[in-house]
Chain A
């Protein structure tokens, strides 16, 4: 099983590479989106939407083409936010794979929302197989996705407000948290993604 991790010059790739390798995947870092040899794609990312939007500009058309070719894709945190059209975090366009925008957590509490929090699962999904509401995952973010199509919201999380924390359809998925930092629950989610890639 070969998984491509898109290296678009942002964030810490080391943890996600290791997490997937521990699960037995053959991981390659790719700078250019291309279908050759990979069965799934991961868009990682910690950082700022505006600079990420700028970084992907050069490869945007190819990336959209690859995702539209029904390659399973998993966006993590900022990588998932890039699936949407735009973000309140800054100017620049996302990939527009899902309609909607990324909005700021408007709360009285501390930001960024850093730390462990629980999932509230709303819909059955192959990505969340064997995951129960109440399981803990690790967050570092101040923004969250707001899809126009609310059926895309697979799970939500409560931090002063409830926000979508897992989005997706049948092969395109995104998590606002970091599965590669989320211990056993994170492992299960990544394992589920590898299973989806195998199909």
Chain B
């Protein structure tokens, strides 16, 4: 069946509804892209996910990115033939970075989104952003900047950058994190984690340099509609599709 859930810093997941219903509503409301992340990624979960991907893809006519539990080329292929336009890799790419180049060589750069979950950490008086794997539970030895640069050189076509600290808190994106990554790479960066107000989305684009903004809570919980967000951004001089 599958439910849409949303948490705070990846925990305390709350149900937010039926994925197919939400997807078709968001597409009709003017979303520019839909990102679907399977956070269960268990073995029986895999079949459910393929089924949900198929059903979502059949009701929308906007780009569709799917991630969660993609471990090899076969996993990516199965999602792509079932309606995903892009796949997003995270933990598997940290464990085996070559998966990025394998997928991009087979299906094209535009097909691979590298999802990076990063968390603030003070080392001495220096702020660093450490990359976490396994749904933000395991720290790695990578900084967000070096991992983003490596991902780009391996063939990732986009970076989906989530701030673990800000996720689900609706208190704003991590602008410093965004700045660091958008300065480092030359592929589109999607800001994720922290959207709470219309101003936050504007800041991520204008101050953080994000090419796109992702939001979940504010839409799932009906705080803003996609149209409201776009009208606001347009009124502030950001070019958006209306």
Contact = CB atoms under 8 A, between A and B. Distances in A.
A115 B212 contact: yes
A140 B110 contact: yes
A46 B110 contact: yes
Interface in A40-90: 46-48
Interface stretch (B14-22, B81-89, B164-172): B81-89
Contact of B187 (A110, A116, A141, A183): A110
A170 interface: no
Nearest to B109: A112
A-B pairs with lowest CB-CB distance, top 3: A136-B241, A14-B83, A140-B110
Contacts of A115: 32, 188, 211-212
A103 B62 CA distance: 26
Interface residues of A, number: 25
A18 B85 contact: no
A181 B62 contact: yes
Interface string B54-70: 10011001111000000
Contact of A18 (B57, B107, B109, B111): B57
Contacts of B111: 46
B139 interface: no
Contacts of B58: 14, 18
A112 B186 CA distance: 10
B37 interface: no
Nearest to A180: B61
Interface residues of B, number: 29
A148 interface: no
A14 B211 CA distance: 27
B46 to A, nearest CB: 18
A180 B58 CA distance: 11
B108 interface: yes
A47 B108 contact: yes
B158 interface: yes
B187 A138 contact: no
A189 B215 CA distance: 30
A137 B83 CA distance: 19
A186 B107 CA distance: 23
A48 B107 CA distance: 8
Nearest to A182: B61
B153 to A, nearest CB: 14
A94 B7 CA distance: 49
A181 B61 contact: yes
B151 interface: no
Contacts of B157: 112, 114
A15 interface: yes
A187 B109 contact: no
10 contacts: A14-B57, A14-B81, A18-B58, A22-B61, A46-B107, A46-B110, A46-B111, A110-B187, A138-B62, A181-B61
